[in-house]
Structure 1
Amino acid sequence: MRRLGSVQQKIPCVFLTDVREEPSRKRYCESFQIVATETVNPLALEANIHSAVATEKVDGTCCYVTLYQGEPYLWARLDRKPTKQAEKRFKRHRRSQQSCEEFSWNVEEDFKSVPEAWIPAHRVKRHDGHPVPDEHGHTPGWVPVEKSNKQYCWHASAVDYEARAALVLRPSAGDENMLEITAVPLDDLQEQTLELIGTNVNANPYKLGSKKQPVHCLVPHGSIVLRKPPAVDFQQLLCWFQEALEGQVEGIVWHCGDGTLIKVHRHHLGLKWPDGDPRLSNRPVVVRVEGHSRHSGCLFALFSTLNGRGFSRLQDVQFDLPES
């Protein structure tokens, strides 16, 4: 299958949206929520969404593989955000103008500091050589995941720089119903984006690992293709999310032929997430990780002990740990 789109920017919803002044279902601290109307987004129609590849939207945190100091590296998502004072000024302007247009940012003073190695995401606009924030006042970007940085310790657990490999969850070749956890060379993942999922990410909707033995892995974006996706229609999508076994997912991301990405999230349709066991956590999986000793990273070594073993559900993957 051809490599599908890389996630570098916020993905627009398949429907035009409204903002409602009521508590968000997605983020507990927000007093508003964004909901879909029944009108298909013209951007989706222009990108010929009806011929697009529909894939599962996976609930994790976005990552990127690209070079760092000449070597393929895993990078974590880090948006450059405005300071509190600049954000207040930006929000006042947006309320008064009903738009973020014509707002003037001071790129030297209005933003919080980011690590020296930080890079802006692809297609971020620039002005006088400086990256320009999006309509939300954020500048999407990436920071390299270094083993010494405790902030990204769960990202780091899924990568082994000595072995130049990453722990990846993906469909198994030759069996579309089976998933596999395997060590993939970082060279093979270059310029791809992936979703980190696991025990300590987004409240662990897929029920991976445990507090005693956390489990994290990377899912390449666009890798889990939906076999019988619903039509791009509000009512049909709503019914699919509520009733179809395959619909127990966070959302859908459509990969259009021109590279455009379009999404819908259950929250856009007023639905809970998670709601029962997600489809991904109930899929069968086989472990194919070998050749990693205890010196090459704890999680890689533990998966090596399971090499060749299958589990009826992803959430059942566990290690035979010695009694403490």
Structure 2
Amino acid sequence: MRRLGSVQRKMPCVFVTEVKDEASAKREHQPFKVLATETISHKALDADIHSAIPTEKVDGTCCYVTTYKDQPYLWARLDRKPNKQADKRFKNFLCSKENSKEFLWNIEEDFKPVPECWIPAKEIKHLKGNPVPDENGHIPGWVPVEKSNKQYCWHSSVVNYEFEIALVLMHHPDDPGLLQISPVPLTDLLEQTLELIGTNINGNPYGLGNKKHPIHLLIPHGAFQIRNLPRLKHNDLLSWFEGCREGKIEGIVWHCSDGCLIKVHRHHLGLSWPIPDTYMNSKPVIINMNLNKYDYTFDTKCLFNYFSKIDNQKFGRLKDITLDV
């Protein structure tokens, strides 16, 4: 199977969207909803959406694996955002009738500072050597996850840089109906983007861990392919999300042959998220750590150590995993 695309820019919706003057179910304090129409977008058609690979959109925070300090590193998403004055100018521009013109940014003066190690996302446009903000006025980018940075403590809990491994959730290689948690070499994940999910991420929609023993895991983007998706029609997708066990997911991401990623979120179809019983929690999961080969005593409070204590154990659902051992 070909390697699927990585998230290096904002993903467009598969349908043309429209704004409704109703309170958003997705974002608190947002006085409008962005809903999908029945028309497939030009971007989706140009990317040959009908031959794309549909995958589950996982609800977490985006990460990236690339080199830092001459070794593979996990990077956290950090978008560079405009300062107050520039943001006000940009919003006034969007509300004005001059939308036919392009907003002019001054990259040096209009944006909040970012750490020196920050890098812009790969697929954003550049102009005169500077990254160009997206339609929201943000410059998507990444910062390396350092163990010493408490801001990214949940990110750092899923990696061990000494042995260059990450704690990853994927399908079991021999049984697609079984999930597996295992350490994966960071070198195998180079230039991939992944989703960090868990106890302290996005309200924990998958019910992982608890306050005393938080659990966080990485899922490579595109890891959970959707096998029996209906045709690409608004009402058919709506019925699939509402009526199928496989439809109990946050959304769909189509991986197109040109590397383009196209999405639809439940909220685009007027459906709620999170939901009580997710499809991810309908499958059993096995722990496959096999850390003996590292001949190393992991920190007693680290996730790798906790999972090694329940190695080879099988659980009915992700939310059934407990590390209180």
The aligned runs of 1:135-150 (5 Å cut-off) are: 135-150=135-150
Secondary structure in structure 2 of the residue aligned to 1:182: strand
Q: Name the stretch that deviates more: 213-222 or 301-310.
A: 301-310
**What is the CA distance between 1:188 and its match in structure 2?**
0.5
Structure 2: distance between partners of 1:282 and 1:76: 29
Partner of 2:70 in structure 1?
Answer: 70
Contact 2:205–2:275 (CA under 8 A) maintained in structure 1: no
Please point out which of 308, 314, 320 is paired with 2:318. 314
Structure 1: distance between partners of 2:125 and 2:258: 20
Note the alpha carbon deviations across 1:169-193, whole angstroms, 9 max, x for none.
0011010101100000000000000
Note the alpha carbon deviations across 1:207-256, whole angstroms, 9 max, x for none.
00000000001000001011211211000000000000000000000111
Partner of 2:200 in structure 1?
Answer: 200
Partner of 1:20 in structure 2?
Answer: 20
Structure 2: distance between partners of 1:46 and 1:131: 24
The aligned runs of 1:83-94 (5 Å cut-off) are: 83-94=83-94
Secondary structure in structure 1 of the residue aligned to 2:181: strand
Unaligned 5+ runs, structure 1? none
Contact 1:160–1:296 (CA under 8 A) maintained in structure 2: no
**What is the CA distance between 1:293 and its match in structure 2?**
2.8
In structure 2, the CA distance between the partners of 1:100 and 1:158, relative to structure 1 (3 Å rule), is farther
The aligned runs of 1:3-152 (5 Å cut-off) are: 3-97=3-97, 99=99, 101-152=101-152
Q: Name the stretch that deviates more: 38-47 or 55-64.
A: 38-47
In structure 2, the CA distance between the partners of 1:62 and 1:145, relative to structure 1 (3 Å rule), is same
Structure 2: distance between partners of 1:244 and 1:65: 34
The aligned runs of 1:292-311 (5 Å cut-off) are: 293-295=297-299, 298-311=302-315
Contact 1:93–1:100 (CA under 8 A) maintained in structure 2: no
Contact 1:251–1:264 (CA under 8 A) maintained in structure 2: yes
Note the alpha carbon deviations across 1:87-106, whole angstroms, 9 max, x for none.
00011112113538421112
Aligned-pair Cα RMSD in Å: 1.3
Contact 1:82–1:110 (CA under 8 A) maintained in structure 2: yes
**What is the CA distance between 1:281 and its match in structure 2?**
2.0
Secondary structure in structure 1 of the residue aligned to 2:222: coil
Structure 1: distance between partners of 2:270 and 2:59: 17
Unaligned 5+ runs, structure 2? none
Structure 1: distance between partners of 2:80 and 2:228: 38
Contact 2:86–2:111 (CA under 8 A) maintained in structure 1: yes
Letter in 1 for 2:216: H
Instruction: Confirm or deny that 1:164 pairs with 2:164.
Output: yes
Partner of 1:182 in structure 2?
Answer: 182
Structure 2: distance between partners of 1:281 and 1:191: 28
Structure 2: distance between partners of 1:55 and 1:69: 33
Structure 2: distance between partners of 1:168 and 1:160: 12
Partner of 1:213 in structure 2?
Answer: 213
Structure 1: distance between partners of 2:6 and 2:227: 21
Secondary structure in structure 2 of the residue aligned to 1:97: coil
Q: Name the stretch that deviates more: 176-185 or 122-131.
A: 122-131
Structure 1: distance between partners of 2:286 and 2:98: 52
The aligned runs of 1:258-277 (5 Å cut-off) are: 258-277=258-277
In structure 2, the CA distance between the partners of 1:199 and 1:259, relative to structure 1 (3 Å rule), is same
4+ residue runs over 4 A deviation: none
The aligned runs of 1:240-279 (5 Å cut-off) are: 240-279=240-279
**What is the CA distance between 1:48 and its match in structure 2?**
1.6
Contact 1:79–1:142 (CA under 8 A) maintained in structure 2: yes
Aligned identity (percent) is 58
Contact 2:300–2:306 (CA under 8 A) maintained in structure 1: no
